[in-house]
């Protein structure tokens, strides 16, 4: 099954990081966010990716093309230009297939999906944004999608609080939680399982997936929600990136489901 990753947005709210590179290439733990996303999916057996490129898409192309060289020790023959990875480094050679599709600079998400349709084929596919991480079991998500028979499944998550929460009884703080997941309310977490029929709900490049298409799917009873109340974080600001980096450096990042 193919996994579509939306990686073409401008990332304007993270301008400190995205002035020269697309948001999915912002690094956490020395690796771009898109790498963390791919590691999650591949851990559960999904390793064929279709990446929708837009803003500074060449940055992602270079990273994918040079991935093995960037991740391994090498012997380079400067005379003939040959590059030979050293033996015993199979663990850095991910068994992934990555198709990189230019979907335009100003194209909306629905338009990017429509442009990816020829590469996704006529089968069920997964889709996610290229700027968030989670400990979601995507195989369980797929099983849920197959159980209900509708066109679309969206993963509903609880957003993290912007600030730490204080539990107070009679003016005394009895518990402090640093940036907890909220206990009420659900939002779009960006992990989808979709049938090819959803493309019929998209008009063209200007279609915003989260508006008319998802609204129509909901109205027609074709949109189901998979509830995920564990870790999720979308990287929208420098504060978010710093939080992920601190979690990575702790040695136990909650989204690292792989070994």
For the chain, domains (ranges, CATH) are: 2-249 (3.90.550.10)
| DSSP state at residue 180 | P
For residues 135-149, one letter each, b for 16 or more C-beta atoms within 10 angstroms of the residue's C-beta and e for the rest, the string is ebebeebbebbeeee
- CB of 254 closer than 8 Å to CB of 243: no
pLDDT mean over 99-120: 96
pLDDT for res 94? 87
Q: Which of 82-91, 151-160, 163-172 has the highest mean pLDDT?
A: 151-160
Whether 168 has a pLDDT exceeding 90, the answer reads: no
Band the pLDDT of 164: cuts 50, 70, 90: low
Taking 80 as the threshold, does the pLDDT of residue 135 lie above it? Answer: yes
Q: What is the pLDDT of residues 9-62, one digit of tens each?
A: 887 767 767 778 899 999 999 999 999 999 999 999 999 999 999 999 999 999
């Amino acid at each position: 099954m193919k996994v579509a990753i939306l990686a073409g947005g401008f990332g304007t709210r993270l301008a400190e990081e995205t002035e020269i590179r697309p948001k999915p290439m912002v690094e956490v733990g020395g690796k771009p966010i898109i790498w963390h996303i791919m590691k999650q999916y591949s851990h559960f057996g999904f390793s064929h990716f279709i990446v929708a490129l837009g803003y500074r898409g060449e940055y992602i192309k270079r990273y994918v093309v040079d991935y093995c060289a960037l991740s391994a020790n090498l012997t380079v023959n400067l005379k003939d230009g040959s590059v030979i990875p050293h033996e015993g480094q199979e663990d850095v050679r991910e068994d992934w297939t990555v198709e990189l599709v230019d979907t335009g600079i100003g194209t909306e998400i629905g338009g990017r999906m429509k442009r990816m349709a020829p590469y996704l084929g006529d089968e069920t596919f997964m889709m996610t944004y290229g700027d968030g991480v989670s400990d979601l079991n995507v195989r369980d998500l797929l099983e849920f999608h197959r159980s209900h028979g509708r066109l679309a499944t969206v993963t509903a998550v609880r957003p993290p609080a912007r600030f730490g929460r204080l539990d107070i009884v009679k003016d005394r703080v009895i518990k402090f939680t640093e940036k907890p997941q909220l206990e009420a309310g659900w939002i779009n977490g960006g992990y989808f399982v979709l049938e090819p029929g959803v493309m019929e709900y998209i008009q063209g490049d200007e279609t915003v997936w989260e508006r008319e298409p998802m609204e129509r799917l909901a109205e027609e009873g074709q949109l189901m929600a998979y509830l995920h109340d564990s870790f999720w974080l979308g990287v929208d600001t420098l504060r978010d990136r710093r939080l992920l980096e601190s979690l990575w450096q702790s040695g136990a990042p909650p989204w690292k489901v792989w070994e």
